[in-house]
Structure 1
């Protein structure tokens, strides 16, 4: 007897709802187990089932994991559809792979699958984010030629992409066109405009759009105010930024810690520690749940004040709360210890950091190299540099200056040449110090070698 298709439609739909819930919660293994059990019981998965898993695998593990799900689809006799390709193109966008995204779009067309607005949106997003605004705009033109109606996401993608490509006024002109044409302009569009104009330094235009938003039926949200607040802080309008933050508080818009972290960081940079502490206490009092970014901000604040015991206590609280200290946390702690003269304790933190697999934390290593050089322990600084997996311009500049400070110009010249050979550079002041020191010490041959190396580095620099 044949199966009645209607008999299986509802269970498959329930299977898909269950898988979607598990995938949203990050329980991919559980979702896969449920699928295996469903197939064992004779419940056939459909294209929605596989698309749900494909999107989740792409987000969790990348494009290759998504292709693996496509292979399983085909083995099960389920053909990919537009949603399948949209998820793959979105996966390529997340990884910054524009060539892969274009190949997938072409494969979609060759397979006879008609792209929808989301296909074009995902492809434009990928091209904009990968630094190909002209190609992204051509995709938009192709979309309109094919008669596919753009949606609000399409226009928001275009606006954001134009800002990222440095075409702020083009984005502003498009925004005005949307308004004149009666096309969809919602709160997301306004936020995109305000944030993009702020990032581009067009503060006056951003304030104009913000005022216009206040005259519409759309209600400004935390994203709107946070964008304005960050803009004020970036361009030195600290009191305006604080006023914006207080407006957030008064209107009850603050639902997370990000606005708090923004204002606290700005105050710390200004050296206004007492005010920063006040907002820290207010944040905790209001019951905001601290995340790793917030903890790092607070740890930085305590280190700036020289309260290292409080900083380490915050690290303990952070880890007891289920959050792991990251590379930024260690960089803050190591830098704080070095500034207070506790170099040995800073080196112990480096060891602990290496045990956690963070040997690439160049900022933390640079802090210790700098502290050792300032203490005239240049041999220890050299040993540490030789253990570093990654080095940057600051690493070599610090060491070269440190060696010059103790009169070891020959060694400074050697590390400067190594630095240039590795494709790094040092500050002009360090170069001058080495050349001057070599001359005064009579190392004429070393001066000649160094000048050759400097000239070669100029020629090879892209």
Structure 2
């Protein structure tokens, strides 16, 4: 029986809906089977069907898998369109393949496929991401010359790219131009400009834009407020950060525990424990689901207060809730135990950490080594250092200081030279302690070696 064109069109649309559902569900094999069955039944897939499969293959297996689908398209006599190339350019961008993205855009033009705004957006994002802002600006200019109308995503990409390229002032001017020209400025645009201003250290401008947003039809969301709040805390504008949090709370924009953990951490750093506890109670009363970050924040607070029993009770609650300790958890506990002089308990936490395969947790090891050195257990500290997979400046600084305090200047000079040879460094006070100790002890040969190592290290860094 010969099908009419209307029947074929309906069947193709239904098949495309089915393919899209299978691809969204991650059932690529079934989607491929549907395509094969359709061809056998005399229902040739159209460009929409192939684009659906292409996008799914790109998500799962990357660019080469997507190009394989394009090859099949051409064999079937289906011509790739703008959507096809947009998917390929996007996955090339995500994979950091800037040259491939540019080649695909050129191929698109040579094939006679007209780029749309999404094509230009993907290419601009790729160029900004790879550190070529000047080329991204040219793409935008080319877009205007070709008469392709920019969309909101285009301007958001430009704003984000300008900030990342260090042109915060130009991004801010462009934002004001968008407002004056009546161009699309939605919540994503506001979040982009606020985030960019915050990361550029322009906290006052960010707060001004936030206030302006409150007077528009676009309601600020949790992302907006949290971005400004974190920025205020980072740049020492503590009271403004708390004010922003209260606005977030009063506006009903808090949907999870993250804003609470941010403000509690900031209060703990300031030593304002009573207020931190108040916000802890608010977080618990909010009924938010606790994740590792929440528990870590609460454990850190208890450790700072010296309430180690409460900290370990929280740890038990965390594990009973199906969560596992992460590197930050161990760092907090080891640091808290060391500050209270409980070296043996801290050592047990280090062992537990190692048993869980976290030998790269430099912060926890550094806290432990520092505590051992302050207790004059430098030999034990040296053993810990040798067991570490990664070491940094603080690792060697603690050990060198510790060795100097017990008068072992020869060993201190040895570890200082090892540190410099590995490309690390120590604090100036540790260097002075080693040089002064070697000089007073009469170790002239070691003193010469240390000065030579310091000179070579300065040359390599310059």
TM-score, length of structure 1 as denominator length: 0.87
Runs of 4+ in 1 over 6 A off after TM superposition: 1-4
> Corresponding residue for 1:56?
59
Q: Cα deviations across residues 298-353 of structure 1 (Å, max 9, x unaligned)?
A: 22222222233333333343344344432222222222222222333333333332
Q: 2:17 aligns with which of 14, 17, 20?
A: 14
Alignment of 1:171-186 (within 5 A): 171-186=171-186
- Give yes or no for the alignment of 1:422 onto 2:425: no
Alignment of 1:316-327 (within 5 A): 316-327=316-327
> Corresponding residue for 2:194?
194
How far apart in 2 are the matches of 1:333 and 1:301?
A: 11
Structure 1 residue runs without a partner (length 5+): 23-27, 58-63
Q: Secondary structure of 2:136's partner?
A: helix
How far apart in 1 are the matches of 2:457 and 2:135?
A: 35
Alignment of 1:200-349 (within 5 A): 200-349=200-349
Say whether the 8 Å CA contact 2:62–2:91 is kept in structure 1: no
Q: Secondary structure of 2:288's partner?
A: coil
> Corresponding residue for 2:433?
433
For residues 288 and 41 of structure 1, do their structure 2 counterparts lie closer, same or farther at Cα, with a shift above 3 Å needed? same
Structure 1 residues 371-380 or 242-251, which shifts more?
242-251
Q: Cα deviations across residues 90-120 of structure 1 (Å, max 9, x unaligned)?
A: 4444455544544444454455544332232
How far apart in 2 are the matches of 1:127 and 1:445?
A: 54
Structure 2 residue runs without a partner (length 5+): none
Task: Tell me how large the CA RMSD over aligned residues is.
Answer: 2.7
Question: How far is 1:175 from its partner?
Answer: 1.0
Question: How far is 1:81 from its partner?
Answer: 4.8
Say whether the 8 Å CA contact 2:330–2:353 is kept in structure 1: yes
Question: How far is 1:434 from its partner?
Answer: 0.9
TM-score, length of structure 2 as denominator length: 0.87
How far apart in 2 are the matches of 1:355 and 1:38?
A: 48
Say whether the 8 Å CA contact 2:396–2:416 is kept in structure 1: yes
Question: How far is 1:240 from its partner?
Answer: 2.7
Find the structure with the greater CA-based Rg. 2
For residues 416 and 210 of structure 1, do their structure 2 counterparts lie closer, same or farther at Cα, with a shift above 3 Å needed? same
Q: Cα deviations across residues 118-159 of structure 1 (Å, max 9, x unaligned)?
A: 232233223333433323323322322333221111111211
For residues 88 and 295 of structure 1, do their structure 2 counterparts lie closer, same or farther at Cα, with a shift above 3 Å needed? farther
Q: How many residues align?
A: 449
Question: How far is 1:70 from its partner?
Answer: 3.4
